[in-house]
Amino acid sequence: MTDKRSETCLYPFVELSDRDEYPDGTKFEVIHTHDGRGAGIRTRTPFERGERLCKVSGQIVASRRLHTLQINENVHLYDPHFTGLLLHSCDPNVFLNMVDMELWALKHIEPGELLTMDYASTETVLSRQFACQCGAPNCRGWIAGSKESPHRPDGTLTAVIGDTATICEAH
């Protein structure tokens, strides 16, 4: 007989399937957006600002790739089941604590909301930069790691000065 928790855990790891602190289908669902952003995580329950949503897990790898999050310069967490599916926003509603491997609410989150994080909060360099589609009033327009210059595919750079993003020709 299988318990209900092991049937709803979003991680395929047997060791985590009976632990309540990891994400499961009663609180979260994996969805596919229709606006070109790809897969994402939608909430099924509300979360208050400052509340821990869950602990996270994954496979430790030595290189960055799609669905990894940086733990330190040479160590990354590969998680294509949950944290690797968090969408980017320049005005995120969650923060991923990579020291304690926990996801926290930055603001009140209603059921049905997509979970978003700022990719620059965990990544010094992204596996690939991309145009931002978050639509936030403070949108930076182009997503890069915290320690890299934003390079657009057309060869221009995006310079961020204060709250203003400017496209510049690369020389």
Half-sphere exposure at residue 39, Cβ-oriented, CA atoms within 13 angstroms: 12
Q: Are β-strands 116-117 and 87-88 bridged in parallel, bridged antiparallel, or unpaired?
A: parallel
135 assigned to some structural domain: no
Average pLDDT of span 118-138: 86
Within-domain flag for 139:
no
Report the number of distinct structural domains present in the chain: 1
Complete DSSP assignment for 63-129: S--TTEEEEETTEEEE-TTTGGGPEE-SS-SEEEETTTTEEEESS-B-TTPBPEE-GGGT-SS-SS-
103 in a domain, yes or no?
Answer: yes
Q: What is the pLDDT of residues 107-126, one digit of tens each?
A: 999 999 999 999 888 888 88
Give a yes or no: residue 82 inside a domain. yes
* 159, part of any domain: no
Q: Kindly state whether residue 133 falls inside one of the protein's structural domains.
A: no
7 phi and psi angles, rounded to 5 deg: -80, -25
Cβ atoms of 105 and 116 within 8 Å: the answer is: no
* pLDDT tens track for 65-77: 888 888 988 899 9
Sign of CA dihedral 145, 55, 38, 42: negative
Q: CA dihedral in degrees (130, 101, 29, 105; nearest 10)?
A: -80
Digit-coded pLDDT (tens) for 11-31: 777 676 666 789 989 999 999
Write down the mean pLDDT value for the chain.
82
Please report, for the domain that includes residue 65, its CATH number.
2.170.270.10
How is residue 4 annotated by DSSP?
H
pLDDT on residue 68: 86
- Confirm whether 152 is domain-assigned: no
Residue 41 lies in a domain: yes
118-141 average pLDDT score: 86
Q: Which domain holds residue 46?
A: 4-127
Given a contact cutoff of 8 angstroms between Cβ atoms, the answer to whether 16 and 8 are in contact is: no
| CA-wise closest residue to 144 among 119, 169, 166 | 119
